[in-house]
Amino acid sequence: MRTPKLSIGLPPGPNNVELAHIAQDLGCDRVWLFDSAALYEDIWIWLDRIARETEINLGTAVLVPNLRHVMTTASAIATIEHVAPGRLACGFGTGATARWVLGKKALSWATTRTYIENLRGLLNGDVVEVDGEKAQMIHWPGLAPERPIRTPLLLSAMGPKGIEITKEICDGIITVGAEQIDMDWHVQMFTGTVLDDGESPDSDRVKEAVGPWVVMAYHGGFAFAPDVVDMLPNGTAWRESIEAARPEGERHLAVHEGHVTHLTERDRELVLDAAWGMPMRAGFFIGTADEIRARAEHAAAKGVTELLYTPTGPDVEGELRRMAGVLLG
Amino acid sequence: MTVPKLSIGLAPGHHTVELTRLAVELGCERVYLWDSPGVYEDVFVWLDRLAALTDARLGTAVLVPNLRHVMTCASAIATLEHRAPGRFAYGFGSGATARTVLGKRALSLASTRRYFAQLRGLLRGDVVEIDGEQCQMIHWPGLAPERPIEVPLLWSAFGPKSLAIAREVADGVMCVTDEPLGFDWNVRMVNGTVLERGDSLATARVRDAVGPWLVLPYHVAAQFDPDALDRMPRGPEWRVASEALRPPDEVHLVVHEGHATHVNARDAMLLDVVGDLPFRSAFWIDDADTIRARAEHAAANGVTEVLYAPIGPNAADELRRFAAVLAP
pLDDT tens sequence across A2-14: 899 999 999 999 9
Confidence (pLDDT) at B280: 76
Contacts of B78 in chain A (CB under 8 A): 41-42
Which tens digit of pLDDT belongs to each residue from B190-212?
A: 999 999 999 998 999 999 999 99
The distance of A153 to chain B (nearest Cα, Å) reads 19
- Residue A294: its H or E element: helix A289-301
Give the model's confidence band at A278: pLDDT under 50 very low, under 70 low, under 90 confident, else very high.
confident
Closest listed residue to residue B99, CA positions, set B5, B186, B242, B224: B224
Q: Please tell me whether residues A49 and A186 are part of one structural domain.
A: yes
Overall average pLDDT of the A179-196 stretch: 96
* Other Cβ atoms closer than 10 A to A214: 25
Averages of pLDDT over runs of 10 residues in chain B (328 residues) are 96 98 98 97 98 98 94 98 98 87 91 97 98 97 97 95 96 95 97 94 94 93 91 96 95 94 95 82 92 97 98 96 96
Q: Please tell me whether residues A147 and A294 are part of one structural domain.
A: yes
* Other Cβ atoms closer than 10 A to A236: 14
* Other Cβ atoms closer than 10 A to B278: 7
Q: Please tell me whether residues A162 and A212 are part of one structural domain.
A: no
Confidence (pLDDT) at A253: 96
Least confidently predicted of A64-73, A84-93, A222-231, B252-261: A222-231
CB atoms A42 and B75 under 8 Å? yes
Closest listed residue to residue A79, CA positions, set A144, A136, A152: A144
Confidence (pLDDT) at A225: 86
pLDDT of A279 higher than 90: no
Phi and psi dihedrals of A128, rounded to 5? -125, 155
Contacts of A138 in chain B (CB under 8 A): 38-39, 101, 253-254, 256-257
Which tens digit of pLDDT belongs to each residue from A280-311?
A: 788 899 999 999 999 999 999 999 999 999 99
Alpha-carbon distance B220 to B208, whole Å?
A: 20
Q: Which of A279, A299, A317 is the last residue of a domain?
A: A279
Residue B260: left if φ>0, alpha if ψ -120 to 50, beta else—which one? left
The count of domains in chain A is: 2
CB atoms A143 and B131 under 8 Å? no
Q: Please tell me whether residues A178 and A249 are part of one structural domain.
A: no
Mutate to test the interface with B, among A18, A83, A136, A250 (most CBs of B within 10 A): A136
Contacts of A252 in chain B (CB under 8 A): 133-134
Q: Please tell me whether residues A191 and A271 are part of one structural domain.
A: no
Alpha-carbon distance B250 to B132, whole Å?
A: 34
**DSSP code of residue A132:** T
Contacts of A101 in chain B (CB under 8 A): 135, 138
Alpha-carbon distance A140 to A138, whole Å?
A: 6
Cα torsion for B140, B143, B147, B152, to the nearest 10°? -160
CB atoms B143 and A39 under 8 Å? yes
Confidence (pLDDT) at A302: 96
Alpha-carbon distance B316 to B318, whole Å?
A: 5
Cα torsion for B199, B201, B205, B211, to the nearest 10°? 160
Q: Please tell me whether residues A240 and A190 are part of one structural domain.
A: no
Confidence (pLDDT) at A98: 86
Give the model's confidence band at A224: pLDDT under 50 very low, under 70 low, under 90 confident, else very high.
confident
CATH number at residue A151: 3.20.20.30
Alpha-carbon distance A307 to B325, whole Å?
A: 60
CB atoms B261 and A66 under 8 Å? no
Q: Please tell me whether residues A151 and A89 are part of one structural domain.
A: yes
pLDDT of A223 higher than 90: no
- Residue A42: its H or E element: none
Q: Please tell me whether residues A81 and A119 are part of one structural domain.
A: yes
CB atoms A48 and B45 under 8 Å? yes
Least confidently predicted of A51-60, A216-225, A291-300: A216-225
Confidence (pLDDT) at B260: 93
Q: Please tell me whether residues A306 and A164 are part of one structural domain.
A: yes
Nearest-CB residue to A102 (from B39, B49, B133): B133
pLDDT of A158 higher than 90: no
- Would you list the DSSP string of A58-103? EEEEEE-GGGB-HHHHHHHHHHHHHHSTT-EEEEE---HHHHHTTT
Q: What is the pTM of this model?
A: 0.97
Coil, strand, or helix at residue B210?
Answer: helix
Alpha-carbon distance B9 to B35, whole Å?
A: 11
CB atoms A78 and B41 under 8 Å? yes
Q: What interface predicted TM-score (ipTM) does this complex get?
A: 0.97
Mean pLDDT of chain B: 95
Q: Look up the domain containing A246 and give its range.
A: 204-279
Searching chain A, which residue's CA lies closest to the CA of residue B14? A143
Q: Please tell me whether residues A166 and A190 are part of one structural domain.
A: yes
Closest listed residue to residue A96, CA positions, set A87, A107, A86, A85: A107
Q: Which of A241, A257, A279 is the last residue of a domain?
A: A279
Alpha-helix runs per DSSP H in chain B: 16-25, 43-53, 70-83, 96-100, 109-124, 160-169, 204-214, 216-224, 235-243, 251-255, 288-300, 315-325
CB atoms A138 and B39 under 8 Å? yes
Per-residue CA distances from B258 to A318, B211, B215 (Å): 50, 11, 11
Confidence (pLDDT) at A246: 97
Q: Please tell me whether residues A274 and A296 are part of one structural domain.
A: no
Q: Please tell me whether residues A31 and A132 are part of one structural domain.
A: yes
Confidence (pLDDT) at B158: 87
Searching chain A, which residue's CA lies closest to the CA of residue B13? A143
Q: In the A/B pair of chains, how many CB contacts fall below 8 A?
A: 188
